[in-house]
Every structure is written in C-alpha cells, then in structure tokens.
C-alpha cells in the first residue's frame, strides 16, 4: 500500500475540497481514475450533505463554492483542493501551493463591453473606467498595469446585465464559448488570462504530512499523464496522401 493510502489510526483523513459547478463534472472522471469514489449521497441531488466519505479511507471530500475552495485550503481546513487559476489569481494566498494543472475546466477571463461602446470608444485611451466583475483584484491589477484606474463593482452573478442597465461600461468575467456574451449584446475586447483547474495544496500540510500529501500529488500527476496519453491514442490518424508514403 502506498504512503498516500496508508492511513494511521492517529491521523484524520485528508480533506479534498471540490468546487460546485462546471468544473466538478470535468474533475470527477479524474478522481474515479484515481480510485476515489464518493459515497452515494455525493450524487444525490436531494442530499444536503457537504462532507463525504470515499472508497479511499485516506480521503474525504467536501463540496463548496469555487471561491471558497481556496479559502478552505489556505486556512488548513482542507489539505487539498481543486480550483481554477482565476480563483488563485484573485486571492493570491501565500499558503497555497499549486503543483499541477489538471488540464480540465478550460476557459478564459476577459474584458467585454457593449457593441455600441466598442464602436465609439477605445479603452486604451481611458484614464478611469467602471467595471462590473466578481474578480475585483484581477481587474484592478490588469488595468493598473496599463495606467488605468478601474472602479470595480462586485457582482456574483448576472454580470452581463450591468452595462445595459447603466451600472458600468465594461465587465470582466469568465468566457468559455462567448455564447452568453453574444446573447446579451456584449463583445469580448481583451483577454486577461487562460484559465484551467489546478490541484492546490496547503503548504503547512505538505510539511507536516509530507508522505500523505506528497503521495497524492504524485498520484494526481500519474493520472493526468495517463489521461493525456489516452487522449492522444484516441485521436484519429489521417490517411496517407499520395506523396506521404516513403
């Protein structure tokens, strides 16, 4: 049995914090590849339970809001977590170590505005703008680097409404396909960063429980490598053209 799964009687299970929402559905196949299968209540939509045992005695799961994953891990309430690097960029907790890109949850964080505004203005020439976002720190840093003062209005949802209702001219939000922006009359004008899900670790836990926490990091690393190999092996091979054969 590996160090990661050799749970002593004196130690509690490690807690892995998972985010609700889109990323969760993409992460679960990876967890099952690792042999982590949650108890039935995890998949029961009627359950109010938030902490779950798993098929691995060494690991319990908690399911929380995406922004809260980083907080639980930073303060040591969970030793491990999965969070988008948008969350890590926003909070920039020194207590969090992010050793692995899990290669799921791909999207981008971007600036968008109404088509009317884009047609008549240039954000690069502004000295002050008002922005609706759930990422005020990322937004301020991004515009400050360009010499622009960003007045951020914090919203947690329906951000696309803000420009049309006179709250602001710009939004900063996650974009996957751009369909939501287009449906609400907005145009993406600038990308800030590419986003994907990361394995995150509480730094003190890595020092106090190095074999267990380090063992799980390696298991995740191996599983990601196998997943990428499987993906490559499933890609169709193009037939040889008339000039391709040796």
35-47 tens-digit pLDDT = 999 999 999 999 9
pTM of the model: 0.85
179 and 60 in a common domain: no
What is the per-residue pLDDT for 34?
Answer: 93
Q: Is residue 241 part of a domain?
A: no
What is the per-residue pLDDT for 231?
Answer: 66
Residue 89's Cα: distance from chain center in Å? 10
What is the per-residue pLDDT for 120?
Answer: 74
202 and 89 in a common domain: yes
Give the residue numbers spanning the domain of 42: 14-105+196-230
Successive 10-residue mean pLDDT values, the chain, 246 residues: 46 94 92 95 94 96 97 98 97 96 96 85 78 97 94 95 94 95 94 97 97 96 84 60 42
187 and 163 in a common domain: yes
Number of domains in the chain: 2
What is the per-residue pLDDT for 234?
Answer: 64
Per DSSP, the chain holds a count of helices (H) and strands (E) of 8, 11
Q: Is residue 238 part of a domain?
A: no
What is the per-residue pLDDT for 217?
Answer: 97
Q: Between helices 22-33 and 210-234, what is the axis angle to 10°? A: 100
Residue recorded with tokens 């191996």: 222
On whether the CB atoms of residues 54 and 61 are closer than 8 A, the answer is yes
What is the per-residue pLDDT for 244?
Answer: 45
215 and 94 in a common domain: yes
Q: Is residue 72 part of a domain?
A: yes
Closest CA to 143 of 92, 192, 178, 87: 192
220 and 189 in a common domain: no
202 and 172 in a common domain: no
Q: Is residue 216 part of a domain?
A: yes
- CATH of residue 149's domain is 3.40.190.10
120 and 41 in a common domain: no
207 and 90 in a common domain: yes
CA pair distance 210, 194, nearest whole angstrom: 31
Q: Is residue 237 part of a domain?
A: no
40 and 27 in a common domain: yes
Q: Is residue 235 part of a domain?
A: no
What is the per-residue pLDDT for 246?
Answer: 37
Q: Is residue 6 part of a domain?
A: no
219 and 172 in a common domain: no
Q: How do beta strands 197-202 and 80-84 pair?
A: antiparallel
Helix/strand/coil for 34:
coil
173 and 63 in a common domain: no
89 and 54 in a common domain: yes
């Amino acid at each position: 049995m590996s160090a990661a799964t050799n749970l002593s009687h004196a130690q509690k299970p490690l807690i892995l914090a998972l985010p609700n929402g889109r990323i969760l559905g993409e992460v679960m196949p990876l967890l099952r590849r690792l042999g982590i299968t949650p108890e039935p209540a995890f998949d029961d939509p009627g359950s109010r339970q938030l902490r779950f045992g798993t098929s691995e005695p060494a690991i319990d799961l908690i399911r929380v809001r995406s922004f809260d994953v980083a907080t639980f891990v930073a303060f040591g309430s969970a030793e491990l977590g999965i969070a988008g690097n948008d969350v890590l960029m926003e909070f920039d907790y020194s207590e969090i170590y992010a050793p692995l890109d899990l290669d799921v949850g791909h999207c981008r964080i971007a600036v968008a505005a109404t088509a009317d505004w884009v047609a008549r203005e240039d954000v690069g020439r502004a000295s002050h703008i008002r922005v609706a976002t759930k990422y005020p720190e990322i937004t301020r840093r991004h515009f400050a680097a360009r010499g622009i003062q960003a007045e951020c209005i914090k919203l947690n949802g329906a951000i696309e409404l803000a420009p049309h209702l006179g709250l602001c001219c710009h939004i900063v939000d996650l974009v996957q396909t751009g369909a939501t922006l287009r449906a609400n009359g907005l145009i993406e004008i600038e990308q800030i960063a590419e986003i994907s899900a990361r394995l995150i670790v509480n730094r003190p836990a890595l020092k106090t429980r190095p074999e267990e926490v380090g063992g799980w990091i390696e298991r995740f690393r191996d599983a990601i490598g196998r997943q990428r190999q499987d993906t490559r092996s499933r890609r169709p091979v193009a037939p040889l053209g008339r000039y391709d054969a040796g």
